Structure 1
């Protein structure tokens, strides 16, 4: 964990990513993408694996994720309708296997800050996931997504919109993120980011990648989150 001696002052609000932080869906999405792309990419260059191509890009929306992979491989891009079909299949898998990250509801309930969600998913899916897992009351429908805001991570727009809706400067917001894409967005918005590496999809080296992207601290168990936030709040009042 990095030095926590000089955090931003007066944290008053908390904003969380959804997939991989609230909902343990990124591992499901990874497995779905592996099965869907394996027949489409049967012969990869030496030294490359499908999992190695997908994992660093988890957190991106599907279209840029697919575009980046096919560009890296020097292959023609898939037609839009095929990308849409892949996205639909991934969404079905995630919805069918919906589950909360262990301990996250209890951890968030123990943190006395107003909360919002900033996700690259669509608003209807995020709201449904929160309702089905019993976490909706924690956020009071404060959900910010590209279909509502007009920007997707790594653009900071989702996080800036959440801070604006709260009526506070971005520096007063703590953020929970699990991906480089999300950490990049929140850091660009001027927020302090806590990186979560306890999800089922986390690859080796993710802690270092999140810190390099701008995460202030990294933790691997939701049971540790309330104490981590409490320490930051106490430091900010000194």
Structure 2
């Protein structure tokens, strides 16, 4: 029997395989402004961050000022890219179909983005009324507020919940809130999660056994 009563999933990189898609759009837009970065740079410096923080970083690299509507244009381009390329993370649907505990999603992304990507991958029915966005409370990871909000709404204490994350900021947010957190390391390019997370795993099919 699991020691946990509720599972809180991150979205990007945990439920939907969106990291390559969104980061490539950001790289393309950054390079249009002279930033001269690549996808590897984006994964190392943007992964797990909200778009405003990424934009601030790009501004320090760009050779010309970013457009005033840079973030809006990013949203527009990334949403179009999602519609063409979005897939669920390998193995996650099987996890959700067989998970015998209450679960929800808590993400740094806006709610419309979360719903779009879950809908495109066929995962939205699992989370219809259990979606928690940092944008709703204007606090972002590594601040633990979104996880604390999710746990309270689901009716559990942090000590009763397990967070599933793939970014250092997300893992840190969970720890800051008093949660156990399992780090998904398939794209942990900095190898930053093993020293922080309660446990780590590199294949989503492992998760059910780890939880039980």
Shorter-normalised TM range: 0.7 to 0.9
User: TM-score by structure 2 length?
Assistant: 0.88
Q: Secondary structure at the match of 1:147?
A: helix
1: distance between equivalents of 2:70 and 2:58?
Answer: 15
Residue 183 (structure 2) pairs with residue 195 (structure 1)? yes
The unaligned stretches of length 5 or more in structure 2 are: none
Alignment deviations for residues 92-138 of structure 1 (CA, whole Å, 9 cap, x no partner):
21232121111101012222110010011111221233233232333
In structure 2, the CA distance between the partners of 1:167 and 1:177, relative to structure 1 (3 Å rule), is same
Residue 165 (structure 2) pairs with residue 177 (structure 1)? yes
The structure with the largest alpha-carbon Rg is 1
**Among 52, 56, 77, the residue aligned to 1:89:** 77
Alignment deviations for residues 65-99 of structure 1 (CA, whole Å, 9 cap, x no partner):
1213434x497863431232133212321232121
In structure 2, the CA distance between the partners of 1:96 and 1:156, relative to structure 1 (3 Å rule), is same
Alignment deviations for residues 23-80 of structure 1 (CA, whole Å, 9 cap, x no partner):
00001112222222223225x5xxxx54344212212111111213434x49786343
Choose between structure 1 and 2 for higher RCO, CA contacts under 8 A separated by at least 6 residues. Answer: 1
Is 2:11–2:114's contact at 8 Å kept on the other side of the alignment?
yes
2: distance between equivalents of 1:128 and 1:87?
Answer: 12
Residue 32 of structure 1: aligned partner:
25
Q: Secondary structure at the match of 1:20?
A: coil
**Among 189, 208, 212, the residue aligned to 1:226:** 208
Q: How many residues align?
A: 210
User: TM-score by structure 1 length?
Assistant: 0.79
1: distance between equivalents of 2:32 and 2:63?
Answer: 15
Tell me by how many angstroms 1:21 deviates.
Answer: 0.6
**Among 19, 26, 36, the residue aligned to 2:12:** 19
Tell me by how many angstroms 1:203 deviates.
Answer: 5.3
Alignment deviations for residues 167-192 of structure 1 (CA, whole Å, 9 cap, x no partner):
21111111111111211211111111
**Among 176, 200, 204, the residue aligned to 2:189:** 204
The unaligned stretches of length 5 or more in structure 1 are: 1-8, 231-238
Residue 6 of structure 1: aligned partner:
none
In structure 2, the CA distance between the partners of 1:30 and 1:132, relative to structure 1 (3 Å rule), is closer
2: distance between equivalents of 1:222 and 1:52?
Answer: 22
